[in-house]
Structures are given as structure tokens and as C-alpha cells.
Amino acid sequence: MTTKQIIFGVLSAFVFASCSNDEKVVFIYADETPVNPPVQATLKEKAKFKIGAAVKMKDLQGEVNYKNAVVKHYSQITAEYEMKMASIWTSSTVYNWTAADYLVNFAKDNNMEIHGHTLIWYDSFPDWFKNAKYDSIAFEAKVKIYITDVVGRYKGKVKSWDVANEVFADGGALREESVIKTVFKDPIGFYGRCFQYARAADPDAKLFYNDYSVVLDAGKRTAIKKMVTRFKAKGYPIDGLGDQFHYANDTNKQTMKTGFTDLASTGLLIHISELDIKVNTGKSDSYVFTDAEAQKQSETYQYITSMYEELPQNQKFAITTWGVTDKYTWLTAFWHPKEYPLLLDNDYNKKPAYQGFLAGLK
């Protein structure tokens, strides 16, 4: 007899003893089947910081399951493309706001934040701008107007921006292929002034520098920390640093943790800004995403989110996955068609990776 039944038995005896003969006692037996198991919290419900996903307007418009998954699991979105120069700055006299406005409004309508990605990226300058061959004075004057117009348009709506993305090459040298390096004798000074232009356009927006392999590449991390030091000395505003975290099942976890701790030592907000975990690390055409592989991926995600949770609360900003579903990951084109890097599968079901991500959250 279970404890519940004993208690119920005692209660019954008491009720009988206190009832007069003509009163009818009706017992409603407690249903023995267990109470419905508690519904698992979603990522955004459990996290004490924003959980973001890179999204595309066409997918939000075109697939209701995609939209529902974004709203259900995430509290922040990042435009995978639509808020970059190449998408907005279509000519020297025309801005195309349609897609950026759609995503800003989508976030507002669904009570989500939207992280602005990205104001200055060497890889997203539109061809008409590059072909104009502006000198440094004209170049900066036009970029200042662009930043002022874009950040100003979304003032109070886009509360954080990647002001600059991928300034440094592997090892920490300035990118050779960057148009900024060819135009400016002091590219870091130009970037610092771009942070100033963004601050002036929206004093409340959090301003980030974003790059990849930051926690793995000590040379790049040193260059970033040196830039932050110089920014602070020159009064250039910066609030946070993003490491994209495009990593893999076989990424060395100790190297990751050592670099992450070093990055956090800046004291700035830390954004894991484009998280995805490759599994087909050998780019094999015969790769199979087995349960064992899925479990390894889950453990990698758990390692990363529990590492992030070790940050002081005032340095936590967001963890953003670079995509919503394996079906639309950028990696099938960039890396290999047989790639399954995200938290939801092609049918928007939670993968073991989702459980691992969740388990790492406090």
C-alpha cells in the first residue's frame, strides 16, 4: 500500500467516524496514474540571458513551422543577411529597408530582441561602393552617413550591433583582402570612429566587435584585446565582444576554455554569436549522423553552454545559434551537404544537441 493510500485510508476512517448515518460519503479516489510529467522548459524559458538564432526573412515568410520554432525556442534573432550593407545599401543614393524592417518588426511583434549584424564587414561592402574607389576621406564620410542612417532608423528597436566583423586574419594580422586596409593607413582608427558614429546614433545600443575562432586563435585574441585597449585609451566606445563559435565535435575543449577565459578577462559583454557544431569533420560523402555522433554533439553543446554560464552575470549577453534547423544551415553549402550542426533537425524536432545545450544552462 503506497503512502498516499495509507493517508487516504486514515482520512476515510476519520470521515466515516464523523459522519451521521444518513449522510452519504462519496470518495473521489485520487487518480493513481502519475500527474502528467512536467513539460520541459525551452531554451529561452530556462536561460537567464538571450537565446538567439540567425534567421532569414524568406524562411520566416515561407514556412510556418520555421516561424513557430523561432518564436517557441528563441528570445532574440539576428538577420543572417538582411541587415548587412550588401542588403541595405543598394546604391549611392538608395537604401533598401524592406527586409531589415521586416525582421525588426517581426522581433517587436513576437516580443523578441534583434541583434544588428553587421555595420562594417569587408565581405559585405556592395560592389558599387568598392568600384567607386573612394579615397579615405570620402570613404569614411559615406560610411559615417550609412551608420548614422541605419542605427538611427532602428534606435531603441535594435538594442545591440556588431559594429565591425572579422577585421583580423588568422594569427591577428589585419585582413589583407579588406577594402579598409587598402584605403586607410590606420584601419583600427577608422573602426574606432565607426563605433563612435554608432554610439552617437543610438547612445543606448550595446556595441560589439565580432570575429571567428577568437577563443582558439591566441594571436587573433591578442590583436582584439590590443584593439580594445586602444579603443578605451582613445575614448572609442565598445561594450562587447563576439566569438562566432563555428566549431566542431572535435574542437579541443581545453583550448576553447582557456581562450574563453582570456576573452572574458576583458570584462566586456561576451556574445557567442554564431554557434554551430560541425559533426562531419572529415567532409565525408559517406558520413552518417549516428546516435553516437549526435551524443558527442550534445556533449559539445553542453560543454559550451556550461562554460558560458561560468561568466559573471554582468558579462552574459546572449548565445546565438547560426540558424534554426539543420535543413537551412549555411554549412551544407560552405562545408559539406552531409552536415547537421544545429539544435533542431529538418522537421524542427529537438535533437540531443538541444538537450545538451539546455543541460548546460543553470
Count the residues of the shown chain that bind ligand G3I, applying the rule CB under 6 A. 9
**Cβ proximity to ligand G3I, 184 vs 330, nearer residue:** 330
The only residue of 200, 213, 330, 345 in contact with ligand G3I, by rule CB under 6 A: 330
Using rule CB under 6 A, residue 81 touches ligand G3I: yes
- Which range binds ligand G3I by CB under 6 A, 80-88, 143-151, 183-191, 229-237? 80-88
Residue number with CB closer to ligand G3I (78 or 305): 78
- Catalytic-residue membership of 293: no
Least Cα distance to 73 among 46, 94, 98, 104 occurs for: 46
Taking CB under 6 A as the rule, does residue 321 contact ligand G3I? Answer: no
User: Which residue among the candidates 80, 113, 140, 274 is catalytic per the annotation?
Assistant: 274
Instruction: Return the number of other C-beta atoms located less than 10 Å from residue 240's C-beta.
Output: 21
Q: Which of 77-85, 174-182, 291-299, 311-319 is the region at the interface with ligand G3I (rule: CB under 6 A)? A: 77-85
Site for ligand G3I in 28-57 (CB under 6 A): 56
Report in angstroms how near the CB of residue 312 gets to ligand G3I at its nearest.
26
80 binds ligand G3I (CB under 6 A): yes
| Total Cβ atoms within 10 A of residue 45 | 14
Is 97 a binding residue for ligand G3I by CB under 6 A? The answer is no
Active site residue 299: no
Residue 271 within binding range of ligand G3I, rule CB under 6 A: no
- The pattern of x and - marking residues 243 through 262 that bind ligand G3I according to CB under 6 A reads -x------------------
User: Does the protein bind ligand G3I through residue 274 (CB under 6 A)?
Assistant: yes
The one catalytic residue in 82, 140, 166, 299 is 166
Q: Which is nearer to ligand G3I, 248 or 359 (CB)?
A: 248
**326 scored as a contact of ligand G3I (CB under 6 A):** no
Q: Is 299 in the site for ligand G3I (CB under 6 A)?
A: no
Q: Which residue has the cell 546614433?
A: 201
* Cβ atoms of 120 and 194 closer than 8 Å: yes
134 is an interface residue for ligand G3I by CB under 6 A: no
Instruction: Select from 51, 55, 76, 84 the one that contacts ligand G3I (CB under 6 A).
Output: 84
- Give the binding site for ligand G3I (CB under 6 A): 56, 80-81, 84, 124, 165, 244, 274, 330
What residues are annotated to the active site?
A: 166, 274
